[in-house]
Each structure stands twice: as C-alpha cells, then as structure tokens.
Amino acid sequence: MLVFLLRNLTTRVGILLILALFLSRIGIFRKLVSKENINIKEKVLLSIIFGGFGIIGTYSGIHIQGAIVNSRVIGVFVGGLLGGPMVGALSGIIAGGHRYIIDIGGFTAFACTISTLVEGIMAGLLKKRFENTSRRVAFSLIYGGIAELIQMIIILLVAKPLSDSLLLVRTIGIPMITANAIGIAFFIAITDTIFKEIENEAVYQAQLALKIADKTLAYFRKGFNEETARDTAKIIYEMTNIKAVAFTDTEKILAHVGIGEDHHLSGSPIKTNLTREALQTNKYIVANVQDEIGCENHQCPLKSAIIVPIREEDKAIGILKLYKGKENSITKVEIELALGLAQIFSTQIELSKIDYQRELLSRSELKALQSQINPHFLFNAINTIVSLTRTQSDDARRLLIHLGNYFRTNLQQELDVVDLHREIEHINSYVEIEKARFGDKLEIFYNIPEDIDCRLPPLIIQPLVENAIKHGVLGKVEGGRVEIIAENNEDETKLIVKDNGVGISEEDLKYLFAGDSHRERIGIKNVNERLKNKYGPKYGLKIESELNKGTIVTIVIPKY
C-alpha cells in the first residue's frame, strides 16, 4: 500500500509540475513571480493562481479510508513562499475552503481545511528567510516536509474518531510528506529558472543599453532637440523589441518612431496625460493598459509603456517612452533598460552643456589673447617699415605684407582648429618683422616636415615664440636663436619652441601659470588653459628651463 500510494501520488505531483512548467512560460505569471514589490491586486491574482493549484491537487487526489491523499499543499505552500503571508493565507483559504465546501467525501474535510490554511500562513511567514537563503530548493524541501508533518498532526487532533485518524496517518503520512515535499522543491526549482532567465535577460539588456549608449553618444552630446531625438529613437527601435520609441521635451513631441507614429507627430503638443504626470512628478511611470496611457486617439495601437524623465540638474527636461503593442507586457527588465537609457541620456545632455560652456570659454580665451596685441609692437613695426621706405623699399613693402597678414590672422580667427602650416605662416609674419628690427641678434630656425598632418587651435604657438624672443634671446646682449620644431608620431604631434636665451629660474617657473599682471604670464596661462580645455588636463604646456642656458616649451597635439 505504501509503495502504491507513493507511486500514484508522485504521478499526481508530476501533473502539477507540468502545469507549473507550462505556467512559467506565460508572461503575466513570470512578471508576478519576479516582481520584488507586488500590490494588493497582484497579490490577490497570485492567490487565485496558487489556490487553483491547490484545488487541482485536491481533485487529482486518491480516495482512501474515507480521506483523500492529495497534493493540495504544493500550490498553497509555494504561493506563501513567493508571495508572503497574504498570498499564503488567501491561497490556503481558497484551496482549503474548496475542500470543505465541495462535497467530495471524507471525515478529514475540516482538518484538511485548517491544515491547508496553516501551511499557507507558515510558508508566508518563511518568505524572508526563503529569500535570504542561497539554497532555496533544499529550504523548500525541508520546510515542505515539516508543513506536511504538521498536517498529519492536525488530522490527529481534529479528525474523529481518533482510531480512524491514526490508521489514516499511518497509511498516508510517509507518502504525502515525501511526495509533496519533493513537489514543493521541484516547483520552487521551476520558479528559480524564471529568476535566472530574467537575470540573463537583465545582463543582455545591460549590454544592450551600453551598445545603444555607444551608438547614441554622438547625438545628445550635440544637444536635446528634434534631430538628435529622432536619430536616437531610431537606434533604440532598431536594436530592441520595443514597438515604439518616443522623446518629448516639456511641451512637445520631439520624435516618435514605431507604431502610432501616424498621429504621435514630431513637433505636435504632448498627447498623453501620463507624460505630463511624469514631467510634473519627475518620476518614472509604468502604464500596463491602454487607458492608463491616455492617448486621445481610440484606435491608438500603443497598449503599454514605460515613461521615464530625462533630467538636467535633477529637473525633468523631457521624457523617454518605450511602448509595447500588448497590454501588461512591460517587464522588469524593460523598466531597467528604460531607466538606464534615461540616465545615460541625461548624462550626455549634461555633457553637451559642459562642451558648449568649454567652447565658449575657449573662444573667450582666444579673444582675450587676440586683444593682447601689444600696441608697442605695432608702433615699432611701423617705425621699422618707415625707416626702410627710402633706402630699402622692397623690404618695406614685404614687411607691410607681413604686418597685414599678422593682424588679419590675429583678428579673424573664427575656426576651432587650423592646419599647422597656416599657424607657421602666421608666426613667420611676426618673426620677419622682429628680425627686421633686431637684425643679426635674432636667429629663427624651422624644422617642420612638409608632409606633416596636424591640426591645432589657432594662436597656440605664436605667443610661445613671442615670449622666447622678447623674454629669452633678447634678454642677452648678443641675442640668440629660437627653434620651432614639429615631430610627427603615430598618435600625436609634438611641437617644440626652443631658445638659448636667459632662461627662467626655478622660483619663477613655479608661478609661470599664475596669470598675474605680467603680460607674458597671461599669454602662457591662456595657451596652457586652452590646450587643457580642448584636449584634457594632461595636454597642458610642458616647460623646461635653466638660467643662462635657455628654455624648451613642448606642446602635444593628439591626432584622434
């Protein structure tokens, strides 16, 4: 009899597990089971599902000695472990109440009703311990066996007569404790596969979010507008299973790609109440059914959505929306994907503001440098040219051309970067005027490869050459030499301005970038800051100097 009951009860348990396996493929069940926090409505729905498993366990039971050997406890106990006390109690009431109300015979009806409820509440109270253990299947097996043992005790205490209860427990005790404990453990193993699959989906979605971020990085760094929103929405739409992707600012739709784009038009005012609510509350919202979305078009194919604010300095400046074409189809993984993308886009928009401010700063620094054209240089140049007009008219004409080129370049620099050879032409105009003034006291040497490929911010080298001449070689009675060198490397170009002038003391070198009232310091500081703003902190000027031996200033311009 023992072997017969165990074999037949195991078969019934197997039927329940097959149903559980089938149920694990259904989206709504996967969503309910995997959610960390479920509301009252969802708890009631879970209670009905697991209570239904209990009812099936009752109907598939084996009638013996005025009782039913059943697997009712499996659904109720699993419901309590996954859903907590409320789900355990409600599913126990559903399955146990059914056993008591429906006339299917047996003197243990009332005892089974009580034990089913007790087992459901017990499982619910064990939920926290169950979630904190790494051996969930073993936990379920042990406590499932204990729960069935409690049922046997309740039968002995409640069912009458006692002699019949004792005989029944001796017959069904071991088969029910064994089979149902194993069934509970297997049911939990099935639900654990759901969690693992969802974790794998989460890993995939995280990788997907990074890929999307990589592809969209160039767009929102240009600003948050209709063009960048449309390009970004297309990328998300093409790389995911989302049926529609939309962006809005605080007033209008910036882009809508996918189903519903026939009436969710770019440039039109925001259509859904849920979008307005997300903007006002600055919190994400999940719409599970079409009515929650609130589109005025009753034929709108958008059935569910995750709506996430895009923030700038913690203030919502727009919305990212991911839509699905079925109700209740937004999963936890898709919520995490939307939240991750919104955070990435918010960061990109913040960076676009920083880039813009940096560009403004760089332009203001360039204007400041242009404004520092020393009037004494202009007067000296004119005097030099005037002195040559009678005796050396060709040289005077040549110097006038250089002077015009020099000022034209200084005052009309609007480009972000210029070719190195253009910068050298500008330097040469300055140098030719200075050489005309100082004659043999000043020697200039260029070592610039003709095929060099280098683009750099304008007016970067000229202030360094000017400092080398005025505060380096002309500080010596006999004058000196200035070399301008370019070295072409694979990933960068190294530019060097070298002189054999008076040099700089260690003390002065420490404060060279301070930018005090000395004009040469302001120029050096300006160039240093422009380089760091453009390329990063490690690309500032490198200056080496020794008193009475000279100074070497090095600039590194990255190629990529």
Residue indicated by tokens 């929650």: 292
Cis amide bond preceding 375, omega within 30: no
pLDDT reported for residue 522: 56
Q: Is the dihedral of CA 495, 499, 504, 506 positive or negative?
A: positive
Q: What span, in angstroms and rounded, lies between the C-alpha atoms of 243 and 260?
A: 9
pLDDT at 22: 74
Q: pLDDT of 162-186, one tens digit each?
A: 888 898 888 888 888 998 999 999 9
CA-CA distances (angstroms) from residue 282 to 36, 307, 312, 449, 539? Answer: 22, 10, 11, 57, 40
Q: How far is CA 91 from CA 37, 44, 82, 123, 203, in A?
A: 18, 9, 12, 11, 34
Same fold, 222-369 and 375-558: no
CATH architecture of residue range(s) 222-369: 2-Layer Sandwich (3.30)
Q: What is the 3-state secondary structure (H, E, C) of 420-453?
A: HHHHHHHHHHHHHHHHHHHHHHEEEEEECCCCCC
**For the chain, domain boundaries:** 1-198, 222-369, 375-558
Is CATH 1.10.1760 what the domain over 1-198 is classified as, yes or no? yes
For residue 83, the one-letter residue type is G
Residues contacting residue 209 through CB under 8 Å, at least 6 positions apart = 337, 340, 341, 344
Beta bridge partners of 557: 493
Q: What is the pLDDT of residues 39-95, one digit of tens each?
A: 888 889 889 999 998 898 888 878 887 778 888 899 899 999 988 899 999 999 999
In this structure, the number of other CB atoms found within 10 A of the CB of residue 8 comes to 17
pTM: 0.46
Give 444's strand partners: 482
Residues facing 321 on adjacent strands: 246, 307
What pLDDT was estimated at residue 355?
57
CATH placement of domain 375-558: 3.30.565.10
One digit per residue, the tens of pLDDT, for the chain of length 560 reads: 666 666 766 777 777 777 777 777 666 666 666 666 678 888 898 899 999 988 988 888 788 877 788 888 998 999 999 888 999 999 999 999 988 887 665 788 889 899 999 999 999 999 999 988 889 999 999 999 999 999 999 999 998 888 888 988 888 888 889 989 999 999 888 888 877 776 676 676 667 777 777 777 667 666 788 888 898 899 889 888 899 999 999 889 999 999 998 888 888 888 788 888 899 999 999 998 888 888 888 888 999 999 999 888 778 889 999 999 888 888 777 888 888 888 888 877 766 665 555 554 555 555 554 445 555 566 566 767 776 776 777 777 777 777 777 766 665 555 678 889 888 988 888 888 888 888 888 999 999 998 898 998 888 898 899 889 888 898 888 889 999 999 998 889 999 999 999 998 888 887 777 644 444 455 677 788 888 878 888 888 999 999 989 999 999 999 87
81 close to 37: Cβ distance less than 8 angstroms: no
Give the pLDDT score at 217: 67
Rounded Cα gap, residues 459 and 470, in angstroms: 17
Q: Which pLDDT value is given to residue 400?
A: 78
Tell me, what's the pLDDT at 357?
A: 52
pLDDT digits (tens, 9 = 90+) for 387-437: 677 677 777 777 777 777 776 666 555 567 888 988 898 888 888 888 888
Contact 441, 478 (CB under 8 A): yes
The residues near 18 (Cβ < 8 Å, ≥ 6 apart) are: none
Residue among 22, 125, 19 nearest 74 (CA): 19
